[in-house]
Chains A and B, each alone.
Chain A
Amino acid sequence: MPTYSLYMGCSVPANYPNYEASMLLVAERLGLELKYLEDVACCGSPNLRAMDYWGWVIVNARTLAVADKLGHDTVTPCNGCFGSLKDVYHLLKHDTKYRERVNAELEQDNLEFTGISRPRHFIEILHTDVGVDTIRKKITKPLDGVGIAIHYGCHLLRPNDVTDFSPMILDELVEVTGAKVIEYPLWKQCCGATVLPVDEDLAIRLAHDKLKSMKEAGAIFALVVCPACCNQLDLQQLGMKESYGEEFHLPVLFYPQILGLAMGLDENEVGLGMNRVPAAPILQHISE
């Protein structure tokens, strides 16, 4: 059974236990061992990077160094954490001077960044290490071809030389569940989460435009793999009735929730009741 260090960050456990629980159950059924990485730091988000580059590098380098001790690859379900860890990993892998400076700092904690443990997004593990063919064999209740719009999220895709993530990954993972991937014009656009603290109206505008684009393209559901994107597309959707006079009625699900249902998990196991826009309509699209 392949083993991974699981880095949760703070947003998924605090805001989206449905994502955490469905990920753990799906991983177990696919034979992946995910062990919570202990004694690690919050990634601080891109806004910490904006304010304090050095501090951001150190907190994330420390996490990477803790994972290096165990030797397993580090898996995270959050694009924000993935972006931070992967960016710092990329920096320290390529900039030896910076790496020396960082390691001198980590020495106080008897830690050293060696780069053994690679930071990876849970979705990429599913695609690369498990594989679509293996997942296909585990699908017992396929979806009925219902249209799902995928929101990858910026920090999963870009900068691509750092994230090393192909935008085909989720397309293939969604298709294997039996759902149909809906292409829409604004698929690459930002959800607005990072700018939320600075300009709330702009952040909501971006989420609104994105939902509109999905809906107009014919999506019945939207899919995310990041808690910050989920805040923007799911939670903020509720307020758009007031701010824009528009209601999209577009349920937003995390990928492991959809995969879990297609693998025979029930709605409670994937925490379907915690999605803000009611997501129960997905159950009508799952074969008996």
Chain B
Amino acid sequence: MTETNERKGPPEVLIDPIDMSELDPNFRKEIQSMPNADELSACFACSTCTAACPIANMWEIKPHQLIRMILLGMREKVLSSNEIWLCLMCFECQERCPQLVRVTDVFFDCKNLAAEEGRIPSSIVALGKELIDKGQLYIVTADWEREDLDLEPEVPGLSTESVKRILSETRTGRLVKGGD
């Protein structure tokens, strides 16, 4: 795992009690209604996902804790966490889960729910704007390089119009508009 800051000494409270009034018992159902989250409640917090994560020791809330928090209904804390957006989306955690919880997929679900509420890094919205404005993420800037290699000058085969049309009618469009 990637090294981070030194330990700061023992915490003041060993177990910080959860404020039950802040729990949303429907949160797990909300996640489970999304694709790939069927096995969510099979998690027994073994923390294999955390051991597998290349950056977990930079995280205040570890991957297995995020899954536990979802099951407990800590919706607000999960969806406002930086961790869900720092996830590398590398699937190391999901690959190793002995309970077949699709951990990375579940974090994708969390990001979608957070995005729906506008809690999304502006840099990601900017990528959405690129897709809506240009219909692709990268455009050819050095066409002489393609020419030198006998390739057609533009990106082959892409229908940028279809991307613009589809995404302007989905959440991407709403987020991009909201940010203007």
Contacts and interface: CB of A to CB of B under 8 A. Distances in A.
A258 B151 CA distance: 20
The 4 closest A-B pairs by CB, nearest first: A158-B91, A55-B170, A14-B138, A190-B90
A154 interface: yes
Given A50-B108, A154-B92, 7 more contacts: A18-B145, A21-B151, A45-B137, A51-B120, A55-B171, A190-B90, A206-B2
A46 B154 CA distance: 23
Interface stretch (B8-16, B39-47, B161-169): B161-169
26 contacts: A6-B157, A8-B157, A10-B137, A10-B155, A13-B155, A15-B138, A20-B149, A40-B158, A45-B137, A51-B120, A51-B172, A52-B115, A52-B175, A53-B35, A54-B170, A55-B170, A158-B92, A159-B91, A192-B88, A194-B89, A195-B88, A198-B85, A205-B2, A206-B54, A269-B149, A271-B148
Contacts of A195: 86-89
Given A10-B158, A52-B128, A52-B171, A198 B34 contact: no
* Chain A interface main SS type: helix
Of the candidates A7, A59, A157, A206, the one having the most CB atoms from chain B within 10 angstroms of its own CB is A59
Given A10-B158, A209-B2, A53 B108 contact: yes
A36 to B, nearest CB: 4
A49 B91 CA distance: 14
Interface of A: 6-8, 10-11, 13-15, 17-18, 20-21, 24, 36-42, 44-55, 58-59, 62, 91, 95, 98, 109, 154-155, 157-160, 188-190, 192, 194-195, 197-199, 202, 205-206, 209, 269, 271, 274
Contacts of B80: none
Given A7-B157, A198-B85, A154 B115 contact: no
Given A52-B167, A189-B54, A198 B89 contact: no
A46 B112 CA distance: 12
A284 B89 CA distance: 38
Contact of A190 (B88, B148, B166, B167): B88
Interface residues of B, number: 62
A11 B139 CA distance: 8
A192 B58 CA distance: 15
Nearest to B103: A159
Contacts of B128: 48, 51-52
Given A14-B141, A42-B131, A55 B166 contact: yes
Nearest to A5: B157
B112 A59 contact: no
Given A21-B150, A154-B90, A42 B137 contact: yes
A46 B166 CA distance: 17
Contact of B127 (A7, A48, A190): A48
Contacts of B109: 53
B63 interface: no
B50 interface: no
Contacts of B137: 10-11, 42, 44-45
